[in-house]
Amino acid sequence: MAGAQCCSNPPTLNPNSGAGTIEQLGGLKTYISGSPNSKLAVLLISDVFGYEAPNIRMIADKVAAAGFYVTVPDFFYDDPFVYDNNRPLQVWLKDHATDKGFEDAKSAVEALKSKGFSALGAAGFCWGAKVVTQLSKSKSIEAAVLLHPSFVILDDIKEVNVPMAILGAEIDNYGPPALLKQFEEILASKPEADSYVEIFPNVAHGWTVRYNVEDEAAANSANEAHQKMLDWFSNYVK
């Protein structure tokens, strides 16, 4: 289920990128941006390239500027995916299953709650979207956003219990528009939780986090998605 499109346009990782700091959270090294005086936290869960990707840290800084305390944990323990013929993605995924990511995410959520944050949102990109979907079943967060999700299935969506927005790509083998439309129908049948699904035209899987910042059209599409994610959190994480 994971292949070339899942990993196209890989980022140049930079451990010094972003305006935030690196701290421990729930046993994980974590990029943190925003004021700890905020009572509202957002957990960003990366794609397979991990928390040192400059774009995901830039997104974290953008969300933090709106008043949230934003965390981007290293779910891969210093082992993000890199192209290697001896260790293709399917092999790498055996070492970094989303089930383990979910367990680590629960630890991060508990750590945030223990610090006094009263409301939490979570957004997941590609691999991270599956982890956020798992969190959304347990009501451990107040709101969720999935961006070009991978590995999410219909049965996952049937168990979602919190407001969820899904931002998908027109060109996507892992979260194809037809599947996202099915997600939309399932979520719409849940009056207890608001939902929103949008398919962005002329963009491909990964477009919200693996875009060239110097490509105006790509950056505009990504920024539009980031703003809709932020609007969702502003409405439901409070």
Q: What is the pLDDT of residues 81-94, one digit of tens each?
A: 998 889 999 999 99
Contact 224, 200 (CB under 8 A): yes
pLDDT over 90 percentage in the chain: 91
Where along the chain do its domains lie?
5-236
What residues have CB less than 8 Å from 208, skipping those under 6 apart? 59, 125, 147, 148, 167, 221, 222, 225, 226
Higher pLDDT, 4 or 61: 61
Query: Is pLDDT at 1 greater than 90 in this prediction?
Result: no
Give the C-alpha distances (Å, rounded to integers) separating 181 from 157, 186, 191.
12, 9, 17
Rounded to whole angstroms, how far apart are CA atoms 217 and 223?
10
Report the CATH fold assignment for 5-236: Rossmann fold (3.40.50)
Q: What is the pTM of this model?
A: 0.96
Q: Is the pLDDT of residue 3 over 70?
A: no
